[in-house]
């Protein structure tokens, strides 16, 4: 006899939120043989026991509202990333010369001016008047300075979730110590422990772009990503011979809270632009932001190649940025059974899938097994970096075209909003 159990986690349900597991009541193990139509449900999608998406006859493909680059304003949902920003602050770019003087007369104060020379931009951090709200202040200044890009100082998150299960990896053979030699990678993330055994002696340059008066952010997530990218072979580094420029956009507030600020992201991007890296890994996610969008557009024009995590909010209506910008290659995560990671975002902006569940990663003091679209992103960065270094191709559209020839199509035929073009099936170029 087969009983039906609704599960949220555990050994058979951790990878998909709110799935239906078919189990035999005698042994409490999945029992598909007794079910003529074994299916798993997640976010309105249906999957068979092998993880393939099931398409009903006569059913129309639902359109996702998570369009690449869609602009969204503030909402009433406190969990919405558009509402996560530094209290009492705005960031302004394309400001006229008399901005500070006029804004001061309105009660605003420019507290920081940052020249992003490599991007050809100057960004202002502005303190709003006491008693004013950030949305209200943005509307007021936008009306007074229609030519300027004005937005909240949005906060970003590293895209990881901790789990303690068996290792799930791409299946690539251990790389030689010289694999990736001549390739320069960049990452914008949290702090990196360059003294970790996985990174000691590797070509890693680290800089923290935390605000004056605040301490550097944590090092767990950034260390894990750095070790995946250029860690020593015995630690599973994808390109051990490559150089890494690692920038931290995260900081610790006096209250102890950890935040990744829009200003930190902009400063990090400017530094990496100066370094002329071949590919930048962005295992971070937040909302759309006018100034950041402008900076990423300029980054594209000067040839920066950007790879971003799809996001771990598990929603189809919340595109994660910067991955959702059209010139960023967006990466989602799957588990060892080629099922989509349960917390992964969905949307038209998704380009490729890679392993991102139960990845054994280096962290300060040792290692942990972690999950998230963060840990899928380095696989694509490790493929794109050498390609850019050797071919000189820096257009995201051209790189997508090359990579999509080497995928296993999962879900609906062709590109879909869950797996993108599919699971990447290509090995990195070492020489």
| pLDDT tens-digit readout, 296-339 | 999 999 999 999 999 999 978 889 999 999 999 999 999 989 99
CA 100 centroid distance within chain? 34
Could you tell me which CATH number the domain at 81-154 has?
3.30.70
Whether pLDDT at 83 is above 90: no
Band of pLDDT at residue 81, cut at 50, 70 and 90:
low
Whether pLDDT at 61 is above 70: no
Q: What is the pLDDT of residue 317?
A: 81
Q: What is the pLDDT of residues 359-402, one digit of tens each?
A: 989 999 999 889 999 999 999 999 999 999 999 999 999 999 99
Band of pLDDT at residue 253, cut at 50, 70 and 90:
confident
Residue range 172-177: mean pLDDT, rounded: 84
Report which of residues 54 and 156 the model is more confident about. Answer: 156
Band of pLDDT at residue 95, cut at 50, 70 and 90:
very high
Q: Please state whether the peptide bond connecting residue 48 to the residue before it is cis, i.e. omega within 30 degrees of 0.
A: no
Q: What is the pLDDT of residues 271-284, one digit of tens each?
A: 999 999 999 999 99
Spatial neighbors of 14 by CB under 8 A, at least 6 apart, are: 163, 165, 342
Instruction: Assess whether the region 81-154 and the region 157-424 belong to the same CATH fold.
Output: no
What is the number of helices (H) and of strands (E) in the chain?
Answer: 7, 24
Residues 44 and 224: their CA atoms lie apart, in Å, by: 33
DSSP state of 335: -
Whether pLDDT at 132 is above 70: yes
User: What's the predicted TM-score (pTM) here?
Assistant: 0.70
Give 157-424's CATH code, choosing from 3.40.50.300, 3.40.50.200, 3.20.20.60, 3.10.129.10.
3.40.50.200
Q: Where are the domains of the chain?
A: 2-47, 81-154, 157-424
DSSP 3-state of 164: coil
Residues 257 and 87: their CA atoms lie apart, in Å, by: 13
């Amino acid at each position: 006899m087969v009983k039906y159990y609704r599960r949220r986690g555990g050994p058979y349900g951790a990878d998909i939120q709110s799935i239906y597991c078919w189990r035999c009541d005698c042994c409490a193990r999945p029992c598909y043989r007794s079910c003529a139509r074994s299916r798993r449900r997640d976010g309105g999608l249906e999957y068979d026991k092998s993880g393939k998406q099931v398409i009903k006859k006569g059913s129309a493909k639902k359109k996702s509202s998570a369009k690449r680059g869609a602009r969204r304003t503030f909402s009433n949902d406190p969990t919405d990333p558009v509402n996560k920003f530094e209290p009492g602050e705005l960031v302004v770019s394309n400001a006229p010369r008399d901005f500070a003087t006029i804004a001061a007369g309105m009660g605003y104060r420019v507290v920081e001016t940052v020249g992003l020379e490599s991007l050809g931009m100057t960004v202002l951090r502005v303190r709003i008047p006491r008693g004013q709200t950030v949305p209200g202040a943005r509307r007021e200044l936008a009306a007074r300075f229609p030519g300027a890009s004005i937005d909240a100082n949005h906060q970003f998150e590293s895209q990881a979730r901790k789990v303690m299960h068996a290792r799930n990896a791409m299946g690539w053979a251990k790389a030689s110590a010289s694999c990736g030699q001549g390739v320069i990678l960049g990452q914008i993330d949290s702090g990196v422990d360059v003294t970790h055994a996985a990174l000691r002696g590797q070509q890693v340059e680290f800089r923290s772009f935390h605000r004056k008066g605040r301490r550097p952010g944590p090092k767990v997530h950034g260390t894990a990503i750095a070790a995946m990218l250029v860690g020593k072979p015995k630690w599973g580094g994808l390109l051990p011979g490559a150089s890494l420029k690692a920038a931290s956009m995260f900081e610790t507030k006096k209250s102890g809270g950890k935040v990744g600020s829009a200003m930190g992201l902009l400063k990090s991007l400017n530094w990496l632009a100066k370094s002329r890296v071949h590919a930048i890994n962005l295992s971070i996610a937040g909302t759309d932001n006018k100034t950041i969008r402008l900076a990423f557009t300029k980054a594209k024009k000067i040839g920066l190649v950007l790879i971003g995590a799809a996001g771990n909010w598990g929603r189809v209506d919340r595109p994660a940025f910067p991955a959702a910008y059209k010139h960023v290659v967006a990466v989602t995560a799957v588990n060892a059974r080629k099922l989509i990671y349960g917390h992964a975002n969905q949307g038209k902006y998704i380009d490729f899938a890679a392993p991102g569940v139960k990845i054994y990663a280096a962290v300060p003091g040792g290692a942990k097994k972690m999950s998230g679209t963060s840990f899928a992103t380095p696989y694509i960065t490790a493929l794109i970096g050498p390609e850019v270094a050797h071919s000189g191709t820096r257009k995201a559209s051209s790189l997508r075209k090359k990579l999509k020839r080497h995928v296993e199509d999962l879900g609906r035929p062709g590109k879909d909003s869950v797996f993108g073009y599919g699971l990447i099936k290509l090995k990195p170029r070492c020489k």
